[in-house]
């Protein structure tokens, strides 16, 4: 049952933008527009960082036709940020919320955004302010705990799985030119994205042939042995690696190209794939090249999963309903059901259990060598990417004999 308390709603987006983060915004706004207990509907530009500057817009003034269009628009329409609250920021935020008569706050983001919402909910409760905070999950890393999976992951997974298939077609056209191809994905400490590159794999020959996840230490000798073995058998090798893989001493392979840290002291790494290219070239004398899709994996509109978009909309909508039911300091979760067919409902979890926590790729989703996914992972993740991937025919290459 909805709360009888009236008030204004404020919505923000934070962290790395995804292909479906706007679907969560639209779900929340459309739910609020239909709710009589919501007066003003406002948006903070560039998340909490923008709110601290009072960069707030009136979402009720947007044209009605905008929302169904925004539903299919990648990136963060409100703008995003990577801002860690400083001492005194919580009091300043509460002061601004009082000035705008904000009663309800929805913050769409990942681990760090959940921490921000948690801190603000705690500050509001401590000061006696009747302001409720709900976190809406978003991350391509798929590393938020207590939810079956995260909105944003399905579309990024679809992109990487299809991109792995497509780039291999180029390798097949002239395999001796660059017989080893290494694709570098995003992913802070969890291997979900790397693993998703195998969602189009139907047999041993299909790419990728090796995946390297950050949960497993990188061992040079094992890697080179595996490359040589596959090359001898197939004539080419496709590898997918996380940008954050580390060696047995815990040093990131991409640390040589580290470009500082973000506001939450997460290292900004780059260069893992190139480090492996150098290793293969020098040690095995094989030509190798690297590919790095970068931001495309987060927000390629051509790879949006309809399932992912629908679930992103759903968690935005249910976040608003949770606020009106009197909930605060919670994150909306996706609760999976596989019978009679795959679908998700929503739940809630305390933000104190989410903030700054990560869900890593379970070992059961990796094979014995830790370099490929298991069927259990395929069955778990395949529903997230929506429609089947494209696979391509090959010519029968029976050679003619001379007469």
Which tokens in the block code for residue 318? 């249910």
* DSSP one-letter code for 197: T
* 262: annotated active-site residue: no
3-state secondary structure 123-187: HHHHHCCCCEEEEEECCCCCCCCCCCCCCCHHHHHHHHHHHHHHHHHHHHHCCCCCCEEEEEECC
Q: What share of the chain is helix, strand, coil (3-state, %, to 5)?
A: 40, 20, 45
Residue carrying the six token digits 């480090």: 275
* Buried b / exposed e along 294-313 (16+ C-beta atoms within 10 A): eeebbbbeebbbebbbbbbb
**Distance (Å) of CA 341 to CA 337, 346, 380, 383:** 7, 16, 13, 10
* DSSP one-letter code for 237: E
Please give the order of strands across the beta sheet that includes 288-291: 210-212, 237-242, 180-185, 288-291
| Annotated catalytic residue, options 141, 143, 308, 329 | 141
**Distance (Å) of CA 167 to CA 9, 308, 323, 370, 373:** 45, 24, 45, 23, 20
Torsion of CA 261, 262, 267, 271, to 10 degrees: -90
* DSSP one-letter code for 218: B
Other CB atoms within 10 Å distance of the CB of residue 160: 30
* DSSP one-letter code for 387: S
Residues acting as catalytic residues: 141
């Amino acid at each position: 049952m909805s709360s009888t308390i009236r008030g204004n709603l404020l919505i923000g987006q934070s962290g790395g933008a995804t292909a479906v983060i706007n679907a969560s915004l639209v779900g929340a706004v459309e739910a609020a527009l239909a709710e009589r207990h919501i007066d003003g509907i406002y948006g903070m530009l560039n998340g909490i960082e923008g709110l601290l500057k009072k960069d707030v817009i009136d979402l009720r003034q947007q044209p009605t036709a905008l929302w169904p269009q925004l539903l299919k628009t990648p990136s963060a329409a409100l703008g995003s940020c990577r801002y860690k609250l400083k001492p005194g920021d919580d009091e300043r935020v509460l002061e601004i919320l009082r000035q705008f008569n904000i009663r309800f706050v929805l913050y769409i983001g990942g681990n760090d955004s959940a921490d921000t919402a948690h801190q603000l909910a705690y500050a509001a409760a401590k000061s006696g302010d009747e302001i409720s905070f709900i976190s809406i999950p978003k991350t391509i890393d798929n590393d938020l705990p207590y939810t079956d999976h995260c909105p944003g992951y399905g579309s990024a997974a679809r992109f990487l799985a299809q991109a792995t298939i497509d780039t291999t077609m180029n390798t097949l056209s002239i395999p001796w030119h660059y017989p080893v191809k290494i694709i570098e994905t995003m992913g802070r400490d969890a291997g979900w994205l790397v693993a998703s590159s195998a969602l189009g794999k139907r047999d041993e020959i299909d790419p990728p042939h090796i995946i390297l996840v950050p949960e497993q230490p990188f061992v040079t000798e094992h890697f080179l042995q595996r490359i040589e073995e596959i090359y001898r058998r197939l004539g080419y090798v496709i590898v997918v690696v996380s940008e954050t893989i580390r060696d047995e001493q815990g040093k990131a392979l991409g640390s040589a190209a580290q470009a500082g840290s973000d506001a939450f002291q997460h290292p900004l790494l780059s260069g893992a794939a190139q480090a492996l290219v150098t290793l293969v070239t020098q040690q095995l004398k094989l030509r190798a090249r690297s590919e790095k899709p970068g931001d495309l994996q987060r927000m390629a509109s051509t790879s949006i999963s309809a399932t992912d978009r629908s679930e992103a909309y759903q968690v935005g909508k249910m976040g608003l309903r949770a606020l009106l039911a009197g909930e605060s300091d919670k994150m909306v979760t996706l609760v999976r059901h596989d019978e009679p067919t795959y679908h998700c409902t929503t739940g809630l979890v305390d933000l104190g259990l989410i903030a700054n926590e990560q869900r890593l790729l379970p070992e059961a989703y990796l094979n014995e060598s830790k370099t490929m996914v298991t069927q259990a992972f395929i069955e778990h993740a395949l529903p997230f990417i929506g429609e089947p991937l494209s696979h391509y025919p090959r010519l029968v290459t029976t050679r003619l004999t001379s007469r």
